[in-house]
Structure 1
């Protein structure tokens, strides 16, 4: 399972990231499953002598970024609190399930939680997390990217604070395509011409039946000027933009530009095909850059990046972002300290560590002009530009079902019938929002 924010998506109930760093993407797609320690860590926060213990529930970070941030914050608290890292399962659905079980039981040992960018509406609607107000809200918003804040907002309230984010770029081979295409039409035409010349020509993108396909569709709809849901998340608003998006997805699937395995491909498979020299283009997250550098140094010399292709010529694409938002549990007995610790965990110092050590792009805009970021993110300007014009996944407490419905109707992409699929999507999403019908 791939996680949103650390990359992109869900397989069953959900990297993203989503949700994720390039290291975690590679681990996730390889099927690594780590046993979470959260269920065993049932101790409550201590209010006796000495610092208060704040339990911090987050995905397993295989880098040292999270532990370093925790050490920094513990030191900066001057004895007020001590953060205890409670690792959730590796798979995103397991993470959510464990959090939901604890919150439904009003577990008072929960203080801070790392939420996938799609969970905030569900958790806020259920009353499981506390809105950010006053000084804490002002500090959370200061200098934070607008789209990242949108992922942490529900019904006009800031209910979490963005800790990291992610976005896709167009990656291409400059030896095959000296000038990168700016639109989907140009990219498909370039790929078809390369195919005629007998050269590597595939366009790698996520077409499997999981959330990666939902993210692709959401990006295309937003880039066509539409949205999946209305502003109040009460009804689908697909229409002409969705039909246009579906038409392009179908066009790719029926073109020689499509990888023959498009219908089963996820982010890591896309990366591997590009590294193997079989593709000319790849729509993917920045984790592919260090992957290419280490796995194919020769091809790395011609491995370049550009903005995500436009759906409407002249109108920048609105790429769907991923990431992790930090929320304070409604059942924490130390909420003020939890807010303070959450702000510390995602401050500029720790987000820079998260980016350079953990591989997850920051949500604080000023960090993209910090020279310390440049060696690991030479594409920092392109990432910032994409994030500044980003879209977010459909915001609804029923996101899990909505996403599954979308992915099942648009995958395989070759089975798309633009008008008919759009109508089916409207019906399925209406059922999901009304809690009717069966999950495919």
Structure 2
């Protein structure tokens, strides 16, 4: 996300009302849309444009949900379970599809538009919007992807080049640990910044490494079957993934705050010069540019010549103006695809993002889907990507010159959203419980024995599936 987008998201509470109580009815032609706080301003702008262009058929009213994903989910669940007829469109975290569809809260995407959505959408994000309920003959589309995200490997190019005499970053986690250990011995930075705190970021890290090792939490064809230890091959993959997490958390010169690490601390660990590697979302580039220009990044000298570009918070620099800043930053701080685990097995990075769904309580579903297609078309997704810092799901946009100017990592993002490189979190109506219970067992990272933890993790996933011990 750009700095502009981050500031806009923080200010949303003064711009858009936060949903609090359930409505009692609906107004014909008025479509109530509830997106998450982050990005809601951009969605509101596009919603206003779609409304104007509808010729009076509909008017989209945008109300921001809370900032935290758990609070968003709870707000929507309360409205849906209360049969709130004023709820038409909602922003859905990519991990909610199965739960909401099984609860009967989502209207399946009509076949008349499902083909268009499937034809334009990259494979990884598309899979997050699909599910098969007990009443479905096959998996079908229950939401329309609006934007996506994927983590990349960010690294100190100057340290690899000047200290380790390497031209390219490591391609595996084991290689990253080896590079960090060598850098430490030579007096260089040694942290590998990850999201190790007990929260969803830890689940994302574990899921990406597990998928990259050839494993998975549950069977994608049977969400009731735990696959962490059901075969020797799956057990070996889970042990390897856990060994990677432990190695990063206990390596010589590791980040001492790793078990409290999140996206922000990972970004700061790199910006302060302590890290040689980090895994994080694309937003870290815009932060690095601005902070380097302010003089607060010790390894990026001679960057204050660009300070004037960031002086006026109301007039952010254009991508053309930012191009020389990006080039200068990338001499010492650069990106690469997400690291792998085992040679011969493609690296996979967990897919993030947002989908738009039509509530089953809506009294104007056809109109809601018409608006949803406007909110998610190519024009809209290009606008979100540049205005809010959210990568699109439409494949063709990755060759758009304006998008590529804003995203120098466009090719790597697109690659990681293809099916062979996209890691999905468990597609299960019990995902919330699965994630919460796994986080608790994985934390603090590295304090456990991988061989022993495998069966404990499998037991926790089975408990979540069976509805035991936790009501999220």
Change (3 A) 1:196 1:229: same
Change (3 A) 1:428 1:317: same
Matched, 1:304 2:294: no
1:76 Cα deviation after fit: 2.4
1:422 Cα deviation after fit: 0.7
Matched, 1:233 2:223: yes
Q: Is the 8 A contact 1:29 1:268 kept in 2?
A: no
Partner in structure 2 of residue 83 of structure 1: 60
Matched, 1:202 2:191: yes
Q: 1:175 aligns with which of 148, 154, 158?
A: 158
Return the TM-score normalized by structure 1: 0.90
Change (3 A) 1:248 1:220: same
CA distance in 2, matches of 1:159, 1:63: 21
1:22 Cα deviation after fit: 5.2
Q: Is the 8 A contact 2:143 2:355 kept in 1?
A: yes
Q: 2:175 aligns with which of 170, 186, 204?
A: 186
Partner in structure 2 of residue 390 of structure 1: 422
1:39 Cα deviation after fit: 2.5
Matched residue SS, 1:374 = helix
What's the CA shift string for 1:130-166, capped at 9, x where partnerless?
1113112112212101111110111101110111100
Higher Cα radius of gyration: 2
Higher helix share: 2
Partner in structure 1 of residue 131 of structure 2: 154
Q: Is the 8 A contact 2:433 2:470 kept in 1?
A: no
Change (3 A) 1:30 1:338: closer
Change (3 A) 1:376 1:22: same
Change (3 A) 1:415 1:95: same
Partner in structure 2 of residue 164 of structure 1: 147
- What aligned pairs does 1:60-71 form with structure 2 within 5 A after superposition? 60-61=37-38, 64-71=41-48
Change (3 A) 1:277 1:29: farther
Matched, 1:39 2:20: yes
CA distance in 2, matches of 1:76, 1:28: 25
1:40 Cα deviation after fit: 5.2
Matched residue SS, 1:244 = helix
Matched, 1:374 2:397: no
Q: Is the 8 A contact 1:108 1:333 kept in 2?
A: yes
1:105 Cα deviation after fit: 0.5
1:68 Cα deviation after fit: 2.2
CA distance in 1, matches of 2:82, 2:198: 33
5+ residue gaps in structure 1? 1-20
CA distance in 2, matches of 1:30, 1:193: 40
Partner in structure 2 of residue 113 of structure 1: 90
Matched residue SS, 1:259 = coil
5+ residue gaps in structure 2? 133-138, 162-167, 229-234, 294-298, 301-328
Partner in structure 2 of residue 402 of structure 1: 434
Matched, 1:221 2:221: no
Structure 1, 333-342 or 139-148: larger mean CA deviation: 139-148
Superposed CA RMSD in Å reads 2.3
Return the TM-score normalized by structure 2: 0.84
Partner in structure 2 of residue 428 of structure 1: 460
Q: Is the 8 A contact 2:42 2:387 kept in 1?
A: yes
Partner in structure 2 of residue 350 of structure 1: 380
Q: Is the 8 A contact 1:22 1:286 kept in 2?
A: no
CA distance in 2, matches of 1:42, 1:60: 20
Change (3 A) 1:30 1:55: closer
Change (3 A) 1:425 1:274: same
1:268 Cα deviation after fit: 0.7
Q: 1:279 aligns with which of 258, 265, 275?
A: 275
- What aligned pairs does 1:332-351 form with structure 2 within 5 A after superposition? 332-351=362-381
Structure 1, 385-394 or 53-62: larger mean CA deviation: 53-62
Partner in structure 1 of residue 318 of structure 2: none
Q: Is the 8 A contact 1:64 1:357 kept in 2?
A: no
